[in-house]
Amino acid sequence: MITFEEGKQIFKLDTQNTTYMMGLVDDVFLGHIYYGKKLRSAGGSYRFRTDEYPMSPRYLLREKLGFFGGFPFEYPTGGVGDYSESCLDITNEVGQNGCELHYVSHHIEKGKPRLPGLPASFGSEQDVETLFIVLQDELLKVQVELQYSVFEAEDVITRCVTIRNGSEHTYRLEKAYSACLHVEKEKDMELITLAGAWARERHMDRRPVGHGKTGVSTVRGETSHQEHAFLGLVSPETTQTVGEVYGMQLVYSGNYSAQVEKNLYDIYRLTMGINGETFSWKLNAGDVFVTPEAILTYSDQGLGQMSRNYHDFMRNHLIRSPYLHKDRPILINNWEATYFDFNTEKLLDLAREAKKQGIEMLVMDDGWFGKRNFDDSSLGDWVVNEEKLQGGLKYLVDQVNAIGLKFGIWFEPEMVSPDSDLYRAHPDWAIQLKDRPVNMHRAQYVLDITREDVRDYVYGSIAKILRSANIEYVKWDMNRAISDAGSCMLPADQQGEVFHRYVLGLYDLLERLTTEFPNLLLEHCSGGGGRFDAGMLYYGPQIWTSDDTDAVERLRIQEGTALLYPLSTMGAHVSKCPNEQVGRMTSMKMRGDVALSGTFGYELDLTTMPEEEKALIPAQVENYHKYHSLISDGDYYRLHSWDSHAPYDAWMVVSKDKSEALVTFCQVLGRPGYKRILLPLQGLDASAEYILDGEDAVLKNGETVSYEGDLLMELGLLIGNSGDFSSRLYHFRRK
């Protein structure tokens, strides 16, 4: 619910459990008052501390800087006296930077409009209410419309900004962030971010917040393996179950900046948006610029509640795919089985063996096009190599379908190899700096999809392949970051727009793809998890979590990813051992149990794997079909992290009606001499009785023993010591 108390000049935004408030000073300056636990009534404008100034800063000009230096602006601007991090920097027609925003008007609507050219949340008039606040710089004639959408059931508020140049001049946006949030606490706060690298993405990182600025950002042109567009500001006592959490993340797939600044008054300012370091946008007279959307949530029940808020929000209001609540086909990808060395018969042999094990889809990975026998050629030449695929692609797909499997295919549409027909014909289609040799990675360049002609070629190439055969899945990959960020098409005064225009071009391609092929299962990938973000989930329901498929390494990676994203979005497969990335040997059961908390599939050679491991696949397939709906749609609870205190990992998923729960326990290292573990569970119905299914069911006098929900949560589940790299699943059903 959104209300405006005119007498108090306060906006109050309420969700089921939270309140967000902001207010006006002298009908002019919009400031932040409060975000946190739900309040009964609007108030708190005393937090502005205007009584410390004898007159309004609008009129007492001699003290205006003092006011600007301490006021918690809802959308702070640069150049006029607010010396903390700004959200908006505008350079005028004579090259000077300065902007001062005054309140003009507001209105409230049921529902939520789409953002042009950008992925964004959606909802019906019953789900969401939206507040629009118009601010204006009276000198520049620039209007800034702040948009707040309130998703009451999920305890989420989204924010974005529309900037309109109402003057006759041309300006430059040097920074246009999506959101700012002020948090005022007597206690010191801590920051949680997600950091890592290729093959160890999204490890949780927690640190105290001192005075000054700290945060995360990227200039790589993608969300990146190294950082993530998320900030979690938490109280020192915060755990999974207790403490305050302010969560903010960005629905965007390019360069971002997200930071928290503790100022001289010990107030925390969180800001988030497109990274200004690589951004400059020409705003002609009459032009409009729209920022990406930021997703805010608050929890006073620890990180676990923040995660569940985000999971519900993304399932209900961000992911559009028809596969959202369906079982995804269990796939096998041929990459680790064949690499580039395959032909039609080898793929069909893999498909026949997969069918015997209950696997449902064959995905043909890199190497099927052009003259692609290694990773140094042919990207951009999306023409089937019929020396490998004898009889053509349609023949292969038809044969795979006849075996009883669906068919999927790999693309890397945004790239071009120097050794390709495409590059030889159009060298200017690569992103590049004038007269400077382009830096390569993996022997490839990045296509300039800021250009409409390049996008048309890319889309036409992909669509032609998809129209040619019954292809039901696409893995869309991107295996290098962007450098040398120049475009041969854009004029000199718009070269600062390349990175953002690239992301808009990507979204245009994905929108076209999902419009023409609405039933396509689209999985995003970027060298693994380098572009795992909320923006990509708008177009496809799953993202390859990491190229590291080692079950132990995946525990940290999937824990960090699940902090924000539903388990059903995480691409997770069983791979061969010893693991290709780290060389570790883990049990087939543990590999299967870890991958079960994701999309589930296989990356190995079924025709050569040990028979004792292959014999476990049918049971893993059965588990997927048995538990997928629960894992996909249930509430996620993190029970333990293996790299803290004790070497085991545990999480659980509870159905919305609390009638069933699945606990996954992974023992990373043995515990010689230790007693059995008591693992407290979460999220159950305290008053209900539960029975344990399957091999772990306990019988007494021929009857299944029941467990009381409150005892399982307070005393814990008793788990034996089962040795290194072992795992167990515990499925509870309400009696």
- The architecture (CATH level 2) of 639-734 comes to Sandwich (2.60)
Residue from 155, 381, 477, 550 carrying the catalytic annotation? 477
Residue 664, CA distances (Å) to 164, 498, 638 in order: 51, 45, 10
CA–CA dist 439, 416 (Å, integer): 13
Q: Phi then psi for 212, rounded to 5 degrees?
A: 100, -160
Q: What is the pLDDT of residue 52?
A: 62
Q: pLDDT tens across 523-548, in order?
A: 999 999 999 999 999 999 999 999 99
One fold for 2-317 and 639-734: no
| Helices 588-596/617-633 angle, 10° precision | 20
CA–CA dist 508, 458 (Å, integer): 11
Active site residue 51: no
Which residue in the block uniquely carries the two structure tokens 């996620």?
A: 636
Q: pLDDT tens across 429-452, in order?
A: 999 999 999 999 999 999 999 999
Residue from 155, 533, 547, 548 carrying the catalytic annotation? 547
Q: pLDDT tens across 78-132, in order?
A: 999 899 999 999 999 999 999 999 999 999 999 999 999 999 999 999 999 999 9
Q: pLDDT tens across 443-496, in order?
A: 999 999 999 999 999 999 999 999 999 999 999 999 999 999 999 999 999 999
Residues 6+ positions from 51 with CB-CB distance below 8 Å: none
Q: How many helices (H) and strands (E) does the chain have?
A: 14, 41
Active site residue 547: yes
Q: Phi then psi for 281, rounded to 5 degrees?
A: -125, 125
When mean pLDDT is compared across 50-59, 403-412, 419-428, 502-511, the lowest value belongs to 50-59
The whole-chain average pLDDT of the chain stands at: 94
Q: Is 9 left (phi over 0), alpha (psi -120 to 50) or beta?
A: left
Q: Identify the band that residue 643 occupies on the pLDDT scale cut at 50, 70 and 90.
A: confident
Q: What does the domain layout of the chain look like in residue ranges?
A: 2-317, 331-633, 639-734
Q: pLDDT tens across 622-632, in order?
A: 999 999 999 99
Closest by alpha carbon to 671, among 642, 712, 714, 637? 642
Q: Which CATH superfamily is domain 331-633 in?
A: Aldolase class I (3.20.20.70)
Decide if pLDDT at 699 tops 80: no
CATH 2.70.98.60 corresponds to the domain 2-317: yes
Looking at residue 422, its amino acid is: L
